[in-house]
Amino acid sequence: MFEWLHPALVYLVGALLLPLVPNGKARAFLILLVPIVGVIPLLTMPFGEFFQLNLFGETLTTFRLDKLSFVFSLIFSLAALLSLIYAWHVRDTMQQVAALAYAGSAIGAALAGDLITLFVWWEGTAIASVFLIWARRTEGSYHTGMRYLIIQIASGVVLLAGAAIHYRETGSLAFEAFSLDGVGAWFILLSFGIKCAFPLLHNWLQDSYPAATVTGTVILSAFTTKLAVYALARGFAGTDFLIPIGATMTLFPIFFAVIENDLRRVLTYSLNNQLGFMVVGIGVGSELAINGTAAHAFSHILYKALLFMSVGAVLHRTGTAKGSELGGLYKTMPWTMVFCVIGAASISAFPLFSGFISKSMILSAAAKDGHYITWLILLFASAGVFHHSGIKIPYFAFFAHDSGKRPAEAPWNMLLAMGLTAFLCIAIGVWPNALYSILPYDVKYNPYTSTHVITQFQLLFFSAIAFGTLMRTGIYPPELKSINLDTDWTYRKIIPAVIKFVVMFVSAVWSELVRGAANSVSAIQNTLASFYGPEGRVARVQPTGYMVLWLAILLGAALLVNLVELP
């Protein structure tokens, strides 16, 4: 019935029409209508391939609906709706248009059946999302947005290069499982890794997301990195070396998050950590692992959005998200505090919350396939998540100390968005089969076994004791007004310093060369002037006798030459 309706085009048409509608409630309702209309084809159309185009003899599939793309497209649509409700009070055309174009591009990429279509939407997410950073309209956000755009565009360029090489190697542009036997697949994997924030490629995440607007950060948290997770699950499921990469991703952000003062940056490190669980699931590659990855991506988008929403509401009311400047806000922002705690419980994988029913699938898949060291790393990482997101975020924002701030509660639309998201976090945790039923493979898994529940409660209990002990003894890093250095130090400090040195060196050499050339030219000019200038030797007025003498010499020379030539 709706085979003529492409979900991504609904968002793009909405983004194009939006500036034509007067800024106010009419436009706000139009914004909310877009994700509602956009999800209809996903819910009503059968699995298959639609909107196929013929380009230069190649068939491009712009709408491929199967179980894997359905899960990600559905959660992208839901995240778009919740984010737009959260941002309903915003009357900034730039943010409104960017949000719709960004969400639509992510959905279009998730539905792409070929690499060319994927590339178009891949770059669409980069171009649209950067305006959510620039919308702050500060000099810092401009420079941050430029760094973000360069990295995201570079990811697309690498993807296009990989697609071209892969086509030459295989003759196929299909977006499907790739073999790493060819060079093209490695380029494609690198492109996905950049967007997924692999170790040493990750810091664009911490650099850019906290620099966006209050609502922009919530929208950013939902799409870019999870699109990369989808792409990895589609193209590289079962690639073994993704397991240590994912395990590393779960570990190193913990230490940065613990010492970070900006709570939105804490959440970006936490986001990096949670991506690691998904990458491990993709590397394991079994049906249980891929189901766990898809389920965890679904859950993660919701609870991470909820945490960004609650911290964003605090930032919106107080003007700061720094832990050292917050505390005691539960007195005047009780609903925001409750929703933040629900998000913290979800990301910490408390039983009856969404994180528990998805993260346990990945842990079980790792153990079932014999990756016991990885399983222990994930268990340690789970404890770390509870420290920096489960406890630190709500504790330092609402309870740690009384900052003296008494802001009003968050606007009603923010509370509504947080309430709906919190409900979904609890509903998925209580009724996991609702999510399990739409996963890529048939699910035969029960998260609520006594072993799973007792193990998780023990982990949380001892983590809480450790946190309390560290706080009481003063060992836990305090919230300091400081900036942490990460790998971005290389391209924000070292590389600019090297470039500055090279520029100064080249300028100095060039100046010396120019000065030497100028001196040489000046010397030549002076020499010529000494001979041919107005006062030069050649230009002097000579007596008539000298002329007669030279004529006699020249005639004598000519006579001698003639005499020599006579036979």
Q: Kindly list the distances between the CA atom of residue 251 and the CA atoms of 192, 238, 374, in Å, as whole numbers in the listed order.
A: 20, 21, 11
Q: Quote the DSSP letter at residue 322.
A: B
C-alpha 370/C-alpha 386 separation (Å) is 25
pLDDT of residue 200: 86
What are residue 2's phi and psi, to 5 degrees? -110, 30
What secondary structure does DSSP assign to 453-505, as a single string? HHHHHHHHHHHHHHHHHHHHHT-SPP--S-----THHIIIIIHHHHHHHHHHH
Q: Which amino acid is at 79?
A: A
Q: What is the value of pTM for the model shown?
A: 0.85
pLDDT of residue 38: 93
pLDDT of residue 234: 95
C-alpha 495/C-alpha 404 separation (Å) is 42
pLDDT of residue 373: 94
* Whole-number CA gyration radius for the chain: 33
The residue with tokens 């497209």 is 73
pLDDT of residue 228: 95
pLDDT of residue 332: 92
Count the Cβ atoms, other than its own, within 10 Å of residue 469.
Answer: 11
Strands (E), 237-298: none
The domain limits of the chain are: 1-236, 237-483, 492-565
DSSP H or E stretch at residue 52: strand 48-55
pLDDT of residue 383: 84
Q: What is the pLDDT along the chain (567 residues), one digit of tens a residue?
A: 556 689 999 999 999 999 998 888 888 889 999 999 999 999 999 998 888 888 777 888 899 999 999 999 999 999 999 999 999 998 899 999 999 999 999 999 999 999 999 999 999 999 999 999 999 999 989 999 999 999 999 999 999 999 999 999 998 999 999 999 889 999 999 999 999 999 988 888 888 999 999 999 999 999 999 999 999 999 999 999 999 999 999 998 888 887 888 899 999 999 999 999 999 999 999 999 999 999 999 999 999 999 999 999 999 999 998 888 888 898 999 999 999 999 999 999 899 999 999 999 999 999 999 999 999 999 888 888 887 788 888 988 898 778 888 999 999 999 999 999 999 999 999 999 999 999 999 988 899 988 888 888 888 888 788 777 777 776 666 665 666 666 666 666 777 788 888 888 898 898 888 888 888 888 887 777 776 666 666 666 666 676 677 778 888 888 777 776 555
pLDDT of residue 25: 82
What is the tally of helices (H) and strands (E) in the chain? 23, 2
Residue 413 burial class via C-beta count within 10 angstroms: exposed 0-12, middle 13-18, buried 19 and up: middle
